[in-house]
C-alpha cells in the first residue's frame, strides 16, 4: 500500500475514494498544487500556475458530473512577492473560475519559502453523480482527447527544454461539455491525473475488481502519462452510438480502450504518488 | 494595505471578509497551518500538530455560531515520514474531529520538504450567523478566557524553551459551549487569532468603523497576543446579565473590554501577516 493509500485508509469515511466527496447537495474536492512537486517556477508564469492549479481541481468536480459553484483558495507564497505578482496569481484564478461559472468565496494566505496552492471546490450535486465504482461487466471503457502529450512535455521541461503556449501540461483542456452531455449514458467516470493505466486500475477496482479486455495495444507513453486531465469513463455497449454523437457534437475525440470483464486488471506503471 | 489584504481585495466576492464564507446552507472556512511559519517540528508531536491545525480551523466555524459537519484535509509531508508518523497525524485529526462531531470526508496528500496542512471546514449554517459586522453603537465588547498566555508560551518556545502539556499554544481551548449558547444574545463575533487589538480593530471596522470606549487598560501582552482562539463578541448592554449567566453555566470566564462608540478604533500592534 502506498503511504497516501495508508493515510487515507486511516479515515474510515464512506465518502472517501472518489475524485470528490458527495455529501448532501454538494460534491467537495480538494487538491494541492506545489512548487518543485507539481511545477517549477521557471517553467510557468504565475498566471499559468494559478490557472493550472484551478483547472486540475475543477477537473475532479467535472469528472463526477458536478457543476463547480464556489471555490476556496489557500496559498503559501514567498514574502518577496510583489503586488504585481499577486495580481498575476489572482488573474489566473479569476479567469478560470469565471470561465467555469464558479465564484471564489474565501481562503487564506501565508508566507513561506515555496509557492503552494490548496484549492477546495464546492460543486452542485448533479441528479446523476458519476462515481468510479459504477462500471458494469461488459461496459466499454473510453477516454477523451489524446494521451501522452503531457508526459512528453514534462520530460522536455525536466531536461531544461521549453514547451509552447498551447501546452497540455501548462493548460489542461477539460472536457466538461462532453462529460455533462454524455453523463446520462455513462456508468462510471473519473479524470486521468496519474496516467491511464493507474487511473483505469482504480476505476476497475472500485467497480468490484473488474478486468479489461483490451481492444487495442497502447504504448507505455500513452498508458503512463500523468496530468492529462482527460476524462475516463465506461458505458453500456448499446450506448456507443449516442456517446459518439455527443463526442462529435462537442468536438471531443474519444478512444475506446476495451471492454470490462470479470478478471482483475493490473497496472504496470510506476506509482506517481509517494 | 498588507499583501494579504491586497490579495483578498482582488477577489470581489461579497462572501469574503469574515472567519468563514456563508453560502446557501453552509459556512465554509479554510486555513493553512505550516511548518516553520505556524509551528516548528521540534516544539510539538505530530499528533499535537494535527490537533492544533484542526482546532484553529474549527474555531472559525464556531466563531460564526456554525456547527462543523465535514472536513477536507490537504497535507504536504516529507517523503521519509513512516507509517507510524502518518498514524500520529491521523490520530490527531480524528480525535479533534470526533470531539466536535465532524467527519473527515476527503482531501489530498503530496510529498514535500516541510509539513503543511490545509483544512477546509464545512459547517451547518445556523439560524443566526454571527458576523464581524454586526456590532452596534453602545454594544459591550468582551472576550472569553484569558489572553496573553499563548504569546508568553510562543516567546519561550522561540527562545528554545519548553512549555507544559496543557499549553495554550499547543492546544487552544475553544469556547464552543459558551458561544453556541450565548449566540442568540450576541450582535457580532469572531475568534482572536491575530491578537485582541488587531482582531478588535477588524470587528469594529466591519461594523461601520466604530470605536471603543475602553473600560480597563490592558497590557501590550494581552492586547497583542496572537493564536489565542478565544472568542471576541459584542452585545447589547441590556443583555449583560444573560451573557454572564451563560458564562457561569459553561464555566467560561469573560472579560468586558469596553463599549463601542462612533469614533474609529486604531490598532497599535505589529502586523502578524506579511
The CATH number that applies at residue A143 is 3.90.650.10
Q: Which among A237, A232, A241 has a CA at the least distance from the CA of A194? A: A232
C-alpha cell read off for B46: 505530530
Q: Could you tell me the pLDDT band of residue A3, with boundaries at 50, 70 and 90?
A: confident
Determine what percent of chain A is predicted with pLDDT higher than 90: 69
B173 neighbors B62 (Cβ within 8 angstroms): no
Q: Could you tell me the pLDDT band of residue B17, with boundaries at 50, 70 and 90?
A: low
- The answer to whether residue A274 sits within a structural domain is no
Q: What is the DSSP letter of B8?
A: H
- ipTM for the complex? 0.85
The answer, yes or no, to whether residue B231 has pLDDT greater than 90, is yes
* pLDDT score for B273: 45
Q: Which of B6, B74, B106 sits opposite A32 (nearest CB)?
A: B74
Query: Model confidence over B26-45: pLDDT tens digits?
Result: 999 999 999 998 999 999 99
Q: Which residues 91-120 in chain A show a CB within 8 A of chain B?
A: 93-94, 103-114, 116, 118, 120
- The answer to whether residue B117 sits within a structural domain is yes
C-alpha cell read off for B93: 485529526
CB of B79 less than 8 A from some CB of A = yes
- The answer to whether residue A152 sits within a structural domain is yes
The answer, yes or no, to whether residue B136 has pLDDT greater than 80, is yes
Of B90, B124, B158, the position where a domain reaches its end is B124
Distance of alpha carbon B61 from alpha carbon B27, whole angstroms: 7
The answer, yes or no, to whether residue B13 has pLDDT greater than 70, is no
Contact check, Cβ <8 Å, B72/A112: no
Q: Do B81 and B168 sit in the same domain of this protein?
A: no
Q: Which of B34, B69, B274 sits opposite A79 (nearest CB)?
A: B274
CATH number for position B43: 3.30.1330.10
Burial of B255 (0-12, 13-18, 19+ CB in 10 A): middle
- The answer to whether residue B274 sits within a structural domain is no
Q: Do B92 and B73 sit in the same domain of this protein?
A: yes
Q: Do A48 and A156 sit in the same domain of this protein?
A: no
Q: Which of A23, A69, A73 sits opposite B70 (nearest CB)?
A: A23
Phi-psi sector, A148: left (phi>0), alpha (psi -120 to 50), beta: left
Q: Do B109 and B140 sit in the same domain of this protein?
A: no
- The answer to whether residue B272 sits within a structural domain is no
Q: Which residue of chain A has the CA closest to B75?
A: A32
Q: Do B156 and B111 sit in the same domain of this protein?
A: no
* pLDDT score for A8: 73
Q: Do A81 and A174 sit in the same domain of this protein?
A: no
Q: Which among B221, B144, B206 has a CA at the least distance from the CA of B178? A: B144
- The answer to whether residue A267 sits within a structural domain is no
Q: Could you tell me the pLDDT band of residue B12, with boundaries at 50, 70 and 90?
A: low
Contact check, Cβ <8 Å, A32/B4: no
Q: Could you tell me the pLDDT band of residue B242, with boundaries at 50, 70 and 90?
A: very high
Of B68, B101, B124, the position where a domain reaches its end is B124
The range of the structural domain enclosing residue B166 comes to 132-261
Query: Model confidence over B52-78: pLDDT tens digits?
Result: 999 999 999 999 999 999 999 999 999
Q: Do B116 and B138 sit in the same domain of this protein?
A: no
Query: Model confidence over A83-125: pLDDT tens digits?
Result: 999 999 999 999 999 999 999 998 888 988 899 999 999 999 9
Any binding-site annotation on B191?
A: yes
Q: Do B162 and B115 sit in the same domain of this protein?
A: no
The answer, yes or no, to whether residue A239 has pLDDT greater than 90, is yes
Q: Do A41 and A90 sit in the same domain of this protein?
A: yes
| Mutation to test the B interface, candidates A7, A67, A91, A112, most B Cβ within 10 Å | A7
- The answer to whether residue A90 sits within a structural domain is yes
| Mean pLDDT calculated for residue range A140-148 | 95
* pLDDT score for A1: 65
Q: Could you tell me the pLDDT band of residue B9, with boundaries at 50, 70 and 90?
A: confident
Number of domains in chain B: 2
Show the CA angle centred on residue A173, arms to residues A19 and A146, nearest 5°.
95
Query: Model confidence over B191-207: pLDDT tens digits?
Result: 999 999 999 999 999 99
Amino acid at each position: 500500500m502506498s503511504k497516501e493509500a495508508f493515510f487515507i485508509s486511516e479515515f474510515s469515511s464512506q465518502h472517501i475514494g472518489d475524485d470528490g466527496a458527495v455529501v448532501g447537495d454538494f460534491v467537495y474536492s480538494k487538491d494541492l498544487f506545489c512548487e518543485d512537486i507539481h511545477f517549477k517556477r521557471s517553467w510557468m508564469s504565475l498566471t499559468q500556475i494559478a490557472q493550472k492549479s484551478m483547472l486540475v481541481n475543477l477537473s475532479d468536480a467535472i469528472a463526477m458530473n458536478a457543476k463547480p459553484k464556489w471555490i476556496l483558495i489557500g496559498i503559501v507564497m514567498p514574502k518577496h512577492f510583489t503586488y504585481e505578482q499577486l495580481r498575476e496569481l489572482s488573474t489566473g484564478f479569476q479567469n478560470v473560475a469565471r470561465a467555469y461559472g464558479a465564484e471564489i468565496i474565501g481562503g487564506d494566505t501565508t508566507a513561506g519559502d515555496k509557492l503552494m496552492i490548496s484549492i477546495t471546490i464546492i460543486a452542485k450535486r448533479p441528479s446523476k453523480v458519476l462515481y468510479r465504482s459504477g462500471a458494469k461487466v461488459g461496459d466499454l471503457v473510453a477516454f477523451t482527447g489524446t494521451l501522452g502529450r503531457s508526459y512528453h512535455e514534462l520530460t522536455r521541461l525536466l531536461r531544461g527544454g521549453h514547451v509552447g503556449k498551447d501546452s497540455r501540461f501548462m493548460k489542461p483542456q477539460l472536457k466538461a461539455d462532453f462529460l455533462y452531455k454524455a453523463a446520462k449514458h455513462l456508468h462510471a467516470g473519473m479524470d486521468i491525473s496519474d496516467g491511464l493505466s493507474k487511473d483505469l486500475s482504480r476505476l476497475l477496482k472500485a467497480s468490484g475488481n473488474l478486468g479489461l479486455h483490451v481492444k487495442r495495444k497502447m504504448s507505455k507513453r500513452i498508458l503512463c502519462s500523468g496530468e492529462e486531465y482527460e476524462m475516463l469513463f465506461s458505458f453500456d455497449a448499446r450506448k456507443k452510438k449516442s456517446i459518439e454523437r455527443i463526442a462529435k457534437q462537442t468536438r471531443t475525440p474519444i478512444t475506446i480502450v476495451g471492454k470490462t470483464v470479470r478478471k482483475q486488471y493490473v497496472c504496470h506503471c510506476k506509482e506517481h504518488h509517494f
